[in-house]
């Protein structure tokens, strides 16, 4: 296990592979609107909402947030030879919100499948942790998550700053067997490459917050 204070943590034995295989089969056969990278807004699926509240996930997220954790967004990333892509160095700064509120530091805004999104300030993103549950083995050759440890403490970064850090900082690959979990803070600078082999790489990405509401009247949406 890696200290989440570095911006990420590895929990390779969180689930038995058979448990996540059941989740993978459910998501594979359930009709859903998907993009090239996978399927978004899976908190609408009752089985996913139930899985997101598994005590093991709540404990990992709650420890990272130092409080009770509430799941609010779930996304399936499904990388294979037929759906293969790379992700450049970036931070996850957009959050789903119940309604639009003109609040300092929030925006620009967008609408995705009927849900409002806004790019959030660093203090709001510090109250969020993402757990990446690996439904397949994630190896060095099938497009693993790559991170720059400690960069979550630097605030919301510009494109130039992201490029500079990717050249200066040591890169860590977050490898995990099926059933393993990688915890990641949204502002951690991260990327992933294309898969180089025929093994499928499915990751159920669930985000948790310390609480759904913010003091400025904004509230996270279930997405």
State the Cα–Cα distance between residues 223 and 220, nearest whole angstrom: 9
Residue 215 lies in a domain: no
Residue tagged 């598994």 (tokens)? 54
Over the stretch 9-60, which tens digit does the pLDDT of each residue have? 999 999 999 999 999 988 877 665 666 557 999 999 999 999 999 999 999 9
Domain count, the chain: 1
The average confidence (pLDDT) of the chain is 93
- pLDDT above 70 covers what percent of the chain? 95
The enclosing domain of 9 has a CATH number of 2.60.120.620
Best CA proximity match to 136, nearest among 15, 17, 2, 14: 17
Strands 181-184 and 145-147: unpaired
Residue 156 lies in a domain: yes
State the Cα–Cα distance between residues 223 and 113, nearest whole angstrom: 10
Q: What is the mean pLDDT of residues 186-198?
A: 93
Residue 219 lies in a domain: no
Confidence of residue 85 (pLDDT cuts 50, 70, 90): confident
State the Cα–Cα distance between residues 42 and 223, nearest whole angstrom: 6
Residue 214 lies in a domain: no
DSSP 3-state assignment of 103?
A: coil
CB 175 within 8 A of CB 139: yes
Over the stretch 109-152, which tens digit does the pLDDT of each residue have? 999 999 999 999 999 999 999 999 999 999 999 999 999 999 99
pLDDT at 2: 54
pTM listed for this prediction: 0.94
pLDDT at 82: 77
Q: Is pLDDT above 60 for 88? A: yes
Residue 19 lies in a domain: yes
Residue 105 lies in a domain: yes
**Residues whose CB falls within 8 Å of the CB of residue 161, separated by 6 or more in sequence, listed in order:** 154
DSSP 3-state assignment of 118?
A: strand
State the Cα–Cα distance between residues 201 and 137, nearest whole angstrom: 7
Q: Whole domain around residue 156: which residue ranges?
A: 4-209
pLDDT at 34: 60
Residue 152 lies in a domain: yes
Q: Is pLDDT above 50 for 1? A: no
Residue 199 lies in a domain: yes
């Amino acid at each position: 296990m890696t200290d989440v204070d570095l911006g990420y943590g590895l929990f390779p034995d969180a689930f038995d592979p058979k448990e996540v295989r059941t989740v993978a089969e459910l998501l594979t056969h359930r009709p859903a609107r998907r993009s090239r990278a996978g399927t978004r807004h899976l908190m609408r699926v009752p089985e996913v909402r139930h899985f997101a509240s598994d005590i093991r996930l709540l404990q990992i997220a709650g420890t990272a947030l130092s409080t009770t954790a509430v799941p609010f967004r779930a996304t399936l990333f499904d990388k294979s030879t037929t759906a293969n892509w790379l992700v450049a160095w970036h931070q996850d700064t957009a959050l789903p919100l119940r309604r639009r509120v003109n609040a300092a530091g929030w925006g620009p805004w967008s609408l995705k499948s009927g849900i409002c999104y806004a790019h959030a300030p660093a203090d709001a993103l510090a109250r969020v942790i993402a757990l990446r549950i690996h439904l397949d083995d994630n190896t060095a050759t099938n497009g693993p998550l790559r991170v720059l440890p400690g960069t979550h403490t630097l605030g919301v970064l510009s494109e130039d700053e992201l490029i500079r850090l990717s050249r200066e900082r040591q890169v860590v690959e977050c490898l995990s067997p099926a059933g393993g979990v990688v915890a990641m803070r949204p502002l951690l600078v991260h990327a992933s490459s294309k898969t180089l082999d025929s093994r499928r790489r499915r990751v159920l990405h669930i985000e948790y917050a310390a609480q759904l509401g913010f003091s400025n009247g904004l509230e996270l949406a279930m997405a």
